[in-house]
Structure 1
Amino acid sequence: MAEFEVPVLSIKNLQKQYGPGCTHCQNGESPSLVKNYCQVCGTVYACRDVSFDVFPGEVLGIVGESGSGKSTLMQCLYFDQEVTGGGAYLADYENGEKNLFQESSQQQRYIRNNIMGKVYQNPLLGLKMNFSSIGNIAEKLIAAGHQHVGLMESRGTELLDKVNIPVHRRKEAPKNFSGGMQQRVQIAKALSNRPPLLLLDEVTTGLDLSVQASVLDLIKSLQRELNISIVLVSHDLGVIRMLADRTIVMLEGKVIEQGVTDQILEDPQHRYTQQLVHSLL
């Protein structure tokens, strides 16, 4: 168990608010707050003191209703949004000693291109729809400093093969693909630089059930084969049950419960988690 003692990713007291905050709402418990919205100044507290660790080879699930803060959290982790406060530390970056949120935009780009991959719910955010599929992978490799065309082509071919994109379609643009195929190209692109950490944000939402199942099977087999750590956001407890080793439950910007997935689903402690689990049954 020794290798599990050092987290791949540590998040400490992450805060994200939209709006200035005011004397009425800044203590976090005031009557001016309805859920995570201040009726006086209009500030929304999307993430409130969120802390967690992700360990090597672990899949961490994050579940919660719409507006719970889980997608905002993912945007902050991949620097798609700036945080209001808190820290993030990666074992593979400066020995986990530097707060990623305080690094320069150039360094954050380096982290995005080399140490993390992300698969977005909407493929339009993760793919260039007019590039070929293999061109999308090459783009990520070039951003990380690769220059050898032959090596990029072979890496792209290897990855598209892994995610079951037919050879004769690898030079085709993703705009011609089905939703499930677009997600598979996104997964290949996210894995192109062998990142130790993969962020998956609602990757099966909007896909047909049979397509969802094949994408989830793919993620599961790749995770086992490559032994990467994954942070997986979903509102679907079936997805969480299938993939996540541990699970965090979010509500109104806060983590209200966390633990081993089986325990969360079999014996939920918080009233909201109990409602969530019973709605699935």
Structure 2
Amino acid sequence: MTGYERPVLSVKHLNKQYGRGCLKCVNKASLLKNYCPSCGTVYACQDISFDVHPGEVVGIVGESGSGKSTLMKCLYFDQEVTDGEAYISVYENGEKNLFQQSAQQKRYIRNNVMGKVYQNPLLGLKMDFSSIGNIAEKLISAGNRHVKMMESRGIELLDKVNIPVHRRKEAPKKFSGGMQQRVQIAKALSNNPPLLLLDEVTTGLDLSVQASVLDLIKELQRELNISIVLVSHDLSVIRMLADRTFVMLEGKVIEEGLTDQILEDPQASYTQQLVHSML
């Protein structure tokens, strides 16, 4: 990564709130953490801005309820933002705000220039389709109609994520959690997106399975030079994969920097607690 390359993803002043807000919470001064006791509005993401550069892995860490998964849902259009901007360099030359695109264009962006791996494989896979059928579905959504090409691409990707040849026609519902995540990764990569979103991808997996999934992600990221936004509450995952890290608390980014710097010399008291809990 060089300093002069334009970002793959640029996010500016992203806000997401649940509720309409009221006069008491309009300036956020009366909030209880990120919640307004008067009207019940939750400010899940507050003024989030960051860039992701080519081949960079950006980690976002924070406790449950910090807003990190909401941020990922907004970036992949699983939820609408309240306001803010996001630009991807390969879409319309990085000049059009993704959040203001039509539903059709958002589908195009999801299918062609982004991939997402969900914490819960039920959200990312059709459990009754075959594994190779899941990959074909993503390719078809992007406009591919060539059956032989889709089959060879599916075989190539399942091989890359270490799904045995004889199981590629099996449905993911028959697979272990770790194998389901590997099929999700293959599906997310099917159209060679420049950007991959990973949301708590190892949560709930056994430690040995976690390690193999993380090794796979690291290997694929190096091989494909793909940019990744990685959300986790687990600092050991962030340490292993992320070049830079953002720490979120109550909907805000409270600290950011190189991952080594954040883990070795945390400045915010919350980050210090997080790092100490890991030791």
TM norm structure 1: 0.98
Q: Which residue of 2 aligns with 1:8?
A: 8
SS at match of 2:230: strand
Q: Which residue of 2 aligns with 1:168?
A: 166
Residues 4 and 55, structure 1, Cα contact 8 Å, conserved in 2: no
Q: Which residue of 1 aligns with 2:78?
A: 80
2:228 and 2:203 mapped to 1: Cα distance? 17
2:228 and 2:149 mapped to 1: Cα distance? 26
- Give the letter for the 1:170 counterpart: R
2:37 and 2:25 mapped to 1: Cα distance? 9
Q: Which residue of 1 aligns with 2:57?
A: 59
Instruction: Please give the per-residue CA displacement for 1:146-178, whole angstroms capped at 9, x wherever unaligned.
Output: 000000000000000000000000000000000
- TM superposition shift of 1:19: 0.1
Residues 74 and 201, structure 1, Cα contact 8 Å, conserved in 2: yes
3 and 275 in structure 1: CA distance in 2 versus 1, 3 angstrom threshold? closer
1:15 and 1:82 mapped to 2: Cα distance? 10
Q: Which residue of 2 aligns with 1:214?
A: 212
- Give the letter for the 1:194 counterpart: N
Q: Which residue of 2 aligns with 1:41?
A: 39
Instruction: Please give the per-residue CA displacement for 1:48-95, whole angstroms capped at 9, x wherever unaligned.
Output: 000000000000000000000000000000000000000000001011
SS at match of 1:37: coil
1:5 and 1:230 mapped to 2: Cα distance? 16
Residues 4 and 56, structure 1, Cα contact 8 Å, conserved in 2: no
Residues 91-110 of structure 1: matches in 2 within 5 Å? 91-110=89-108
CA RMSD, 1 decimal: 0.8
SS at match of 1:34: coil
Instruction: Please give the per-residue CA displacement for 1:68-125, whole angstroms capped at 9, x wherever unaligned.
Output: 0000000000000000000000001011111000000100000000000000000000
> Would you say 1:180 and 2:168 are equivalent positions?
no
Q: Which residue of 2 aligns with 1:26?
A: 26
Q: Which residue of 1 aligns with 2:241?
A: 243
1:274 and 1:176 mapped to 2: Cα distance? 42
- TM superposition shift of 1:5: 3.2
SS at match of 2:110: helix
1:80 and 1:90 mapped to 2: Cα distance? 17
- Give the letter for the 2:104 counterpart: Q
1:276 and 1:255 mapped to 2: Cα distance? 14
Q: Please, which runs of 5 or more residues in structure 1 have no aligned partner?
A: none
1:114 and 1:155 mapped to 2: Cα distance? 15
Q: Please, which runs of 5 or more residues in structure 2 have no aligned partner?
A: none
- TM superposition shift of 1:26: 1.1
- Give the letter for the 1:142 counterpart: I
SS at match of 2:248: strand
Among 187, 192, 195, which residue is 2:193 paired with? 195
Q: How many residues align?
A: 279
Residues 163 and 185, structure 1, Cα contact 8 Å, conserved in 2: yes
- TM superposition shift of 1:3: 6.3
- Give the letter for the 1:161 counterpart: D
- TM superposition shift of 1:206: 0.2
1:4 and 1:47 mapped to 2: Cα distance? 29
SS at match of 1:213: helix
Residues 3 and 56, structure 1, Cα contact 8 Å, conserved in 2: no
- Give the letter for the 2:125 counterpart: L
- TM superposition shift of 1:4: 4.5
1:180 and 1:2 mapped to 2: Cα distance? 34
Among 68, 71, 74, which residue is 1:70 paired with? 68
